[in-house]
A = this chain, B = another copy of it.
Amino acid sequence: MTQLTPTDQTRVVRGAKRAVYDEATVHAIIDDALICHVAQILPNATPLVTPTAHWREGRWLYWHGLASTRNVADTPARPVSINICHVDGLVMARSAFHHSLNYRSVTLFGTPEPVTDPAEKTRQLERFLDKISPGRWPQLRPINGKELKATGLVRLPIEEASAKVRNGPPVDDDEDYGWPVWAGVIPLVQHRGEPEMDQA
């Protein structure tokens, strides 16, 4: 099992017992998610966080946007922090204090780099679509040079990374287990609904 090496940035401080650094877990949490949240620092020294769809190849996280989008255009040579979080359940304890969420969360740090080679951009965009809908790409009206140029693509190494995972029932204070209130987990489930065909 490959372990990622914690750095000062990625060593989990709060809730260290929930920390996970093995690469397979980090990759699985990334792959299960459709969007991530990218934090960057704007030229006026304020933070900005934007949601964006992502995909992964090996040890790289990719995202795209219109070439002028701030988290694509601004990021080269600027550090970002990225979080991906699945909320899997509501943890209902016997005291308010021990209520929690079951979750799987990955936090990344690093400096993204642009991907500009047209062939590689095309290959990555196909990989992205394959994540959403395997085999769809060859069925589409082919991408053209203008569209490819309008699309900004960046990638971040998945190196400075940590995961935090909570699952299982509530953990209450010993003396509270007899308290007369329902306790347990309410799962939160996401699924794809019935496709709605475009009538146009």
Contacts and interface: CB of A to CB of B under 8 A. Distances in A.
Chain A's interface size range is 35 or more
A187 B181 contact: no
A39 interface: yes
Interface in A134-181: 136-137, 139-143, 147, 150-151, 169-170, 172-173, 176-177, 179-181
B140 A51 contact: no
Nearest to A41: B47
Contacts of A189: 190-193
B39 A81 contact: yes
27 contacts: A35-B85, A37-B49, A39-B39, A40-B47, A46-B81, A48-B107, A51-B83, A51-B103, A53-B101, A89-B193, A95-B140, A95-B141, A95-B147, A96-B137, A99-B129, A140-B179, A141-B176, A141-B181, A169-B199, A177-B200, A183-B197, A185-B196, A186-B193, A187-B192, A188-B193, A190-B190, A191-B191
